[in-house]
Homo-oligomer: A and B are copies of this chain.
Amino acid sequence: MQIEKPYLMFIGDVADQLAAKTAAGIVDWRRDWCVGQLRLPGCKADLGIDDVGIAEAGRRGAKTMVIGVVNAGGVLPEHWIRSIVEALDAGLDVASGLHTRLEDVPQIAEAASRNGRQLFNVRIPSINFATGKGTKRTGLRLITVGTDCSVGKKYTALALEREMREQGLDADFRATGQTGIFISGRGVAVDAVVADFISGAAEWISPAADPSHWDVVEGQGSLFHPSFAGVTLGLLHGSQPDAFVVCHEPTRKTMRGVPAALPTIRQVIDATIASGRLTNPRIQCVGIAVNTQALDEAAARACLEEIAAAEGLPTTDPVRFGVAEIVKRVKALF
């Protein structure tokens, strides 16, 4: 899979900023690759880059239109098809992170064929995985877990990769979702793997490595989310992490998309250790990453201090304050 850069970011008419988190993540980590955003009337998200039409995107050199949104079920809304066909007619490839296969929409398949363009479905794995084995592999692994979905697990993993490298560790981000794959150019969307192979896919993503090498695995979902906990658990077992970081959003009142209560950070630490020790008895929590975007700086600092005091672990907002303290902890422990 080789998706050509730069990208035109298509976010349609999504209902909120969270629904455009794929696109926002790509812009945050690979801004140079994004020539602009294409939004439809009524769009409630904004990537903070130029609004461009397809023609202007072409003039700016765009090679691929990225459908950078998530929605429950990952279905492609019918009224987006027209924009996708226009992009193909303008000579762009199209890459999607939705569950719907682009080529399963006849107008899109025809337009791609007519223009000799490529369609990419990063969320649909093209590999046949084995079932997980649970056997301990060489190398060190860290995974990000969450009190909920959409709380910063990918951001935290990417920030940890960057900081670990800066502090002299040999580390690689391992993408498990569409955004991570767009950012790193490899990985597997584990939520799209056939359920029998979740832990096997996680083992494939993070193969045996040098004893001092760190894989920083992007977590998915939450052990406490009634829709997705199975994915979270399979990924945890297959990753067999030595270390994990809990990600949290302090203003969230209910689990994303469902009327369920949020677990506490302590519940997530305990459940992750209880489940994770099945494939790695040494698993331990090395820090807490709090998404304080909704708080002002004073409130954010107070929130981090309170959590750090309660849990006795390095606690930070990776976007605001970096993850240096967590990586120092990792270096001290391993």
Contacts and interface: CB of A to CB of B under 8 A. Distances in A.
Interface stretch (A52-60, A151-159, A230-238): A230-238
A195 interface: yes
A320 to B, nearest CB: 31
B194 A193 contact: yes
Interface in A224-273: 224, 226-235, 237-238, 255, 257-260, 271
A275 B267 CA distance: 12
Interface string A67-109: 0000011100000000000000000000000010000000000
A278 to B, nearest CB: 6
A198 interface: yes
Size band of the interface chain A makes with B = 35 or more
Nearest to A199: B227
Contacts of A73: 130-131
Contacts of A224: 278
A195 B199 contact: no
A139 interface: no
Contacts of A234: 195, 229-231
A195 to B, nearest CB: 5
B227 A132 contact: yes
Nearest to A237: B226
Contacts of A190: 195
Nearest to A201: B195
Given A194-B99, A224-B278, A199 B230 contact: yes
A102 to B, nearest CB: 16
A191 interface: yes
A195 B199 CA distance: 11
Contact of A230 (B72, B231, B260, B279): B231
Nearest to A234: B230
Contacts of A72: 130-131
Contacts of A198: 195, 230-231
Interface in A206-233: 224, 226-233
A12 interface: no
Interface in A134-173: 134-135
B195 A226 contact: no
Contacts of A195: 190-195, 198, 230-231, 234
Contacts of A297: none
A196 interface: yes
A99 B99 CA distance: 20
28 contacts: A72-B130, A72-B131, A73-B131, A99-B194, A133-B227, A134-B226, A134-B227, A134-B258, A134-B260, A135-B259, A190-B195, A192-B194, A192-B196, A194-B194, A195-B230, A195-B231, A196-B227, A198-B230, A199-B227, A199-B228, A199-B229, A199-B230, A224-B278, A229-B278, A230-B232, A233-B233, A260-B278, A274-B274
Interface of A: 72-74, 99, 130-135, 190-196, 198-200, 224, 226-235, 237-238, 255, 257-260, 271, 274-275, 278-279
Given A133-B227, A229-B233, 19 more contacts: A131-B227, A132-B228, A133-B258, A134-B226, A134-B255, A134-B260, A190-B195, A191-B194, A193-B194, A194-B195, A198-B230, A200-B227, A226-B278, A227-B237, A229-B275, A230-B230, A233-B233, A271-B274, A274-B274
